[in-house]
Amino acid sequence: MFKKVLYLSLLSSLAITSLSAGVLTGDMVNVSHQGPAVGTIYQNLGTQAIPDGSFASYLYDGGTYTARVYENYVDLIFNCGGCNWTDWSHFGAGSWTNAVGITRLSDAAFTGVSIDATTSYAGFNASRLSFTSNKILVELKGLPIAGFIRLNLEGDTFAPVPEPATMSMMLGAFGVIGLVVRRRRAVSLK
């Protein structure tokens, strides 16, 4: 019986620390607006640790958009009546873009990015979404600046270090278990 209690307490303490881990938990993430060439940062929205949630809004051609990056998803909110994302192909031949870039600045990797069912952005579909192990690109050229995009993230996760209060509770529990074991041994030796 005692072994079962010890085993269950160890499992529950491990579960407490790993359930709170998200794909981007503890990572530094940069959000930028890219264009006219692929990989060129047109406007840097900033870099911050996750979970914080919100980057500054960006003004573009009379419209605005806000990027909110969470541990397991990204929200992009666009607002401008009658505005469209510029088609910068007139800059010449080659790769051109008008996109939001989300870069993960850690050794961990994205393994999947999908469009959430709550997305309500006319003309936006999977063909406008690409990702590598550390970067997501949301292509917007030619689309209206109006709507909402939610991207669900999959990738490497790391269990966070337990908070000091959780750690002290775990150590206290192990101490009590140790005392019980010691007492049982003393009783069984008599």
pLDDT at res. 89: 60
Alpha-carbon distance of 3 to 163, in angstroms, equals 27
Task: Write the CA distances from 104 to 25, 28, 53, 54, 135, integer angstroms.
Answer: 11, 6, 14, 15, 6
| Buried/exposed 4-35: b ≥16 CB within 10 Å, e otherwise | eeeeeeeeebeeebeeebbbbbbbebbbbbbb
Each residue's pLDDT expressed in tens, for the chain with a length of 190 residues:
555 544 545 545 544 444 446 888 888 888 888 888 777 888 888 888 887 656 666 666 567 788 888 889 999 988 886 777 776 665 555 567 888 899 998 888 899 999 999 999 999 999 999 999 999 999 988 888 888 999 999 987 655 555 566 666 767 677 767 777 777 776 666 6
| Contact partners, residue 185, CB within 8 Å, separation at least 6 | none
DSSP per-residue letters across 142-178 = TSEEEEEEEEEEEE---PPPPPHHHHHHHHHHHHHHH
pLDDT at res. 19: 45
pLDDT at res. 59: 62
pLDDT at res. 166: 63
Alpha-carbon distance of 170 to 175, in angstroms, equals 9
Q: Which amino acid is at 8?
A: L
- Half-sphere exposure of residue 63: CA atoms within 13 angstroms, side-chain side: 18
Asked if 62 contacts 81 with a C-beta cutoff of 8 angstroms, the reply is no
pLDDT at res. 138: 93
pLDDT at res. 18: 42
pLDDT at res. 151: 95
Asked if 47 contacts 28 with a C-beta cutoff of 8 angstroms, the reply is yes
Residue 76, helix vs strand vs coil: strand
pLDDT at res. 90: 58
Two structure tokens written together for 15:
């579960």
